[in-house]
């Protein structure tokens, strides 16, 4: 068995020390822990409620989605199903129509919501807020799903034209989307 030369051991020690210093310096930005080290997001851990001591939780988008849903007063199970239907939990998903990210937000919508659709943490939060607003405005999670998927104009037209049978006035894709999430 060969012994390691002192220079190789010294080099490893120097590299380890440098990496330790760099990691420590990168962990704070104006005194706040950066979740980038945990998630790749530039959003602070404080703002996304991720305990910096638990990096496993930082990558658990399901737990984040559930918490965002609870925080916004919407059903967390249905919100999880919605995200599964949108992107299958893929933060890098891009649809044929151009929707981006884990919550499949269209670029124009993302600009209006002031969110980067490629940031899964921010997108989950924005989607939950939007769903809560839609649910409160339209009175049901099913209508909120229609607004999220087809847009508020399409939902408004369907409700005006078909009343209680509003679903038949939506595109087939949106009807299937709602059924896949709520089951009826």
Structure confidence by residue, pLDDT tens digits, 128-162: 999 999 999 999 999 999 999 999 999 999 999 99
Candidate from 15-24, 119-128, 129-138, 157-166 with smallest mean pLDDT: 15-24
**59: pLDDT strictly greater than 90:** no
For 16, 24, 41, 114, 130, the CA distances from 44, given in Å and listed in that order, are 26, 15, 8, 16, 21
**180: pLDDT strictly greater than 90:** yes
Output 43 or 79, whichever has higher pLDDT: 79
CA angle in degrees (0–180, nearest 5) for 40-46-49? 85
Full-model pTM:
0.68
**28: pLDDT strictly greater than 60:** no
Per-residue pLDDT, 6: 56
Query: What mean pLDDT comes out for the span 90-115?
Result: 96
Helix, strand or coil, per DSSP, at residue 120: helix
The residues with which 28 forms a beta bridge, in sequence order, are 33
**25: pLDDT strictly greater than 70:** no
Domains and CATH numbers, the chain: 45-138 (1.10.530.10)
Average of per-residue pLDDT values in the chain? 79
Any residues with CB less than 8 A from the CB of 114 and at least 6 apart, and which?
Answer: none
For 127, 138, 152, 171, the CA distances from 159, given in Å and listed in that order, are 23, 10, 10, 13
């Amino acid at each position: 068995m060969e012994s390691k030369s002192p220079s190789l051991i010294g080099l490893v020690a120097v590299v380890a020390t440098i990496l330790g210093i760099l990691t420590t310096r990168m962990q704070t930005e104006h005194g706040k822990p950066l979740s980038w080290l945990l998630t790749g997001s530039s959003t602070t851990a404080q703002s996304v409620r991720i305990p910096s001591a638990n990096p496993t939780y930082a990558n658990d988008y399901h737990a984040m989605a559930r918490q965002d849903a609870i925080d916004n007063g919407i059903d967390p199970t249905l919100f999880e199903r919605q995200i599964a239907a949108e992107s299958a939990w893929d933060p890098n998903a891009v649809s044929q129509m151009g929707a981006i990210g884990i919550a499949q937000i269209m670029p124009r919508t993302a600009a209006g919501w002031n969110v980067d659709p490629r940031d899964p943490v921010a997108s989950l939060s924005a989607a939950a807020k939007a769903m809560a607003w839609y649910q409160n405005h339209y009175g049901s999670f099913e209508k909120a799903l229609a607004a999220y998927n087809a847009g508020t104009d399409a939902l408004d037209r369907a409700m005006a034209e078909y009343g209680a049978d509003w679903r038949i006035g939506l595109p087939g894709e949106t009807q299937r989307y709602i059924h896949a999430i709520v089951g009826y």
